[in-house]
Amino acid sequence: MINAPMKNTLPSCLLVRLFFQPTKIFTELAELTPPSSLVFFKAALWLGLLPPIFAYFGTNKFGWRLGTVEPIFLREEILLSISVVYFCVLLIGFLSSALVSRWMSKTYGARESFGAHFAMVTIVGAPLAVGSIIHLYPDVFINILVFVPVVLWSMYLLYRGLPIILCTTPERGMLMASSLIGYLLVAFVSLLGITVMLWINGLGPSMGV
């Protein structure tokens, strides 16, 4: 039997259905070959915009609260620069994670379509982007409380969706998902280290009211 050609598109109402019909979304994506440009402009770009926009308006209005100390305010131009860098880092994170996932695909017998890997990474990151609405009230403790369950939900989507979207076995999918999480943890810790080093060397933003 000849398989029908895969469509170069994305499922409709992707973000809404992801929270109510994740398995169905994964199954639909397994039958698609979306081009990476479509994934970028239809999903990843807009999801990447949400956290820096929320952080910009929240910080500008309330300032960041670190425990019981006074709120930390940043000058307008510095806050805008940080928001732009935040946006760029998120997009680089989406792209690099998709590249690493595709690089792993041969080892775990998964699909090698970059568009499929990019779509999977974007879907997994969607709850984090939506959860970033808590940046509108930038209290560190409250943000952590919100992001812990959101991160767990994203991890669930990764473990659940990877073997379906990338057409590999559940066993290999679990190993590949674990390897991808390992990469993300290393990348996150490295980014924190670089940020701290830059700040110590005077390249961080100066505080002000």
Beta bridge partners of 139: 65
**pLDDT value, residue 4:** 38
Return the closest-CA partner of residue 113 out of 186, 39, 206, 173.
39
185, part of any domain? yes
168, part of any domain? yes
**pLDDT value, residue 197:** 77
13, part of any domain? no
Number of domains in the chain: 1
Beta bridge partners of 72: 64
Return the DSSP state at 182: H
Return the closest-CA partner of residue 154 out of 180, 122, 186, 128.
128
11, part of any domain? no
**pLDDT value, residue 195:** 76
90, part of any domain? yes
105, part of any domain? yes
**pLDDT value, residue 5:** 40
Owning domain of residue 164? 21-200
Residues 123 and 28: their CA atoms lie apart, in Å, by 13
Per-position b or e across 78-97, b if 16+ CB within 10 A of its CB? ebeebbeebbeebeebbbeb
9, part of any domain? no
79, part of any domain? yes
Q: Which amino acid is at 73?
A: F
Residues 194 and 86: their CA atoms lie apart, in Å, by 14
Q: Are 165 and 119 in contact (CB under 8 A)?
A: yes
Mean pLDDT by 10 residues, the chain (209 residues): 50 72 88 88 92 93 78 84 91 94 95 93 92 91 92 94 95 96 91 76 55
**pLDDT value, residue 206:** 55
Return the closest-CA partner of residue 102 out of 119, 78, 90, 83.
119
Residues 187 and 17: their CA atoms lie apart, in Å, by 29
